[in-house]
């Protein structure tokens, strides 16, 4: 954390390694909590604003891991992380950075109510914080939706919706595939979080969850079978079928869930 705090004027290579070290360490929930308590959120947000793709990609990965924890999610909001993640989600040339920024935002606003973890304060301060969180949530959802739609081809989706032929679904899959995402390995808790997100009242978060689960299970991915096994063990098939059949779900959520 101290290295990340002190390397703002260092070479992009050192910045990438500092953020990358925190990304690797934050896979452990205990480490993730420790990184947040030691002040690791603010320097990662600063590194996420870097113009260097390798730097903001690794910082986005670390923030994604940290955001899984409610206290860290609140810290990210309070340290101004939402605009930084929104900028990455919409502007990075790295699909992976955009993907991980979208997932971090989804974790932060998926209904876990990070406002409940805010310190007790006066009524006026609480109201202001509530308004601030609500605005941040709207901003996050807007850009998550825009990100998901960049992988949506209207013709391919219409063909997939009208037919269950493998070729129609394969065309959508290839358009949606983020090659590097096949190297990501998720825990059972993370997979469970996305499966729960499929039941979220927000259609945007449903689509994000279906898109994420698709990335983690596309055949050929390094950990695809591991993720599929975790999903099977967690009863995800039933939830995915429900999401694919729900009349109110956006077409992206329905098609990604079917695949």
Domain final position from 122, 150, 178: 150
Judge if 123 and 211 occupy the same domain. no
Candidate from 117-126, 159-168, 249-258 with smallest mean pLDDT: 117-126
Domain of 187 in residue numbering reads as 152-257
Work out whether the CA dihedral 55, 140, 224, 71 comes out positive or negative: positive
Q: What is d(CA 130, CA 103) in angstroms, rounded to the nearest whole number?
A: 22
- What is the domain count for the chain? 2
Q: What is the mean pLDDT of residues 14-41?
A: 97
pLDDT at 39 > cutoff 90: yes
Smallest Cα–Cα separation from 217: which of 199, 233, 229, 234?
Answer: 229
Domain final position from 98, 117, 150: 150
- What pLDDT sits at residue 124? 53
Q: What is the mean pLDDT of residues 33-37?
A: 97
Instruction: Summarize pLDDT for 94-125 with one digit per residue, the tens.
Output: 999 999 999 999 999 997 555 555 554 445 55
For the chain, what's the residue count? 259
Judge if 44 and 96 occupy the same domain. yes
- What pLDDT sits at residue 123? 52
Judge if 195 and 156 occupy the same domain. yes
CATH number at residue 63: 1.25.10.10
Domain final position from 150, 167, 197: 150
Q: What is the mean pLDDT of the chain?
A: 91
Judge if 125 and 184 occupy the same domain. no
Judge if 121 and 161 occupy the same domain. no
Instruction: Summarize pLDDT for 205-236 with one digit per residue, the tens.
Output: 999 999 999 999 999 999 999 999 999 998 99
The percentage of residues in the chain with a pLDDT greater than 90, rounded to a whole number, is 77
Judge if 77 and 36 occupy the same domain. yes
Judge if 90 and 207 occupy the same domain. no
Q: What is d(CA 202, CA 3) in angstroms, rounded to the nearest whole number?
A: 38
Judge if 162 and 219 occupy the same domain. yes
User: If DSSP states are collapsed to H, E and C, what string results for the chain?
Assistant: CHHHHHCCCCCHHHHHHHHHHHHHHCCCHHHHHHHHHCCCHHHHHHHHCCCCHHHHHHHHHHHHHHHCCHHHHHHHHHCCHHHHHHHHHHHCCCHHHHHHHHHHHHHHCCCCCHHHHCCCCCHHHHHHHHHHHHHHHHHHHHHHHHHHHCCCCHHHHHHHHHCCCHHHHHHHHHHHCCHHHHHCCCCHHHHHHHHHHCCCCCHHHHHHHHHHHHHHHCCCCCCHHHHHHHHHHCCHHHHHHHHHHCCCCCHHHHHHHHC
Judge if 118 and 7 occupy the same domain. yes
- What pLDDT sits at residue 188? 95
Instruction: Summarize pLDDT for 172-211 with one digit per residue, the tens.
Output: 999 899 999 999 999 999 999 999 999 999 999 999 999 9
């Amino acid at each position: 954390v101290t290295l990340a705090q002190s390397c703002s004027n260092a070479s992009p290579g050192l910045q990438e390694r500092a953020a990358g070290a925190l990304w690797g360490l934050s896979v452990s929930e205990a480490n993730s909590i420790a990184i947040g308590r030691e002040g690791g959120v603010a320097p990662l947000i600063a590194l996420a604003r870097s113009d260097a793709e390798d730097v903001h990609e690794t910082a986005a990965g670390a923030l994604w891991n940290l955001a899984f924890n409610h206290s860290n999610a609140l810290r990210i909001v309070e340290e101004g992380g939402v605009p930084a993640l929104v900028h990455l989600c919409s502007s990075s040339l790295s699909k992976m950075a955009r993907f991980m920024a979208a997932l971090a935002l989804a974790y932060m606003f998926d209904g876990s109510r990070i406002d409940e973890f805010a310190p007790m304060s006066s009524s006026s301060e609480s109201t202001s914080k509530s308004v601030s969180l609500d605005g941040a949530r709207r901003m996050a959802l807007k850009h998550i939706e825009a990100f998901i739609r960049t992988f949506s081809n209207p013709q391919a989706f219409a063909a997939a919706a009208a037919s269950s032929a493998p070729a129609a679904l394969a065309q959508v899959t290839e358009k949606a595939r983020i090659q590097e995402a096949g190297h990501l390995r998720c825990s059972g808790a993370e997979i469970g979080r996305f499966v729960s997100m499929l039941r979220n009242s927000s259609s945007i978060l449903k689509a994000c969850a279906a898109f994420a689960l698709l990335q983690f299970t596309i055949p050929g991915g390094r950990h695809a079978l591991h993720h599929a096994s975790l999903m099977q063990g967690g009863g995800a098939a039933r939830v995915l079928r429900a999401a694919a059949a729900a009349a109110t779900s956006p077409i992206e959520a329905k098609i990604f869930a079917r695949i």
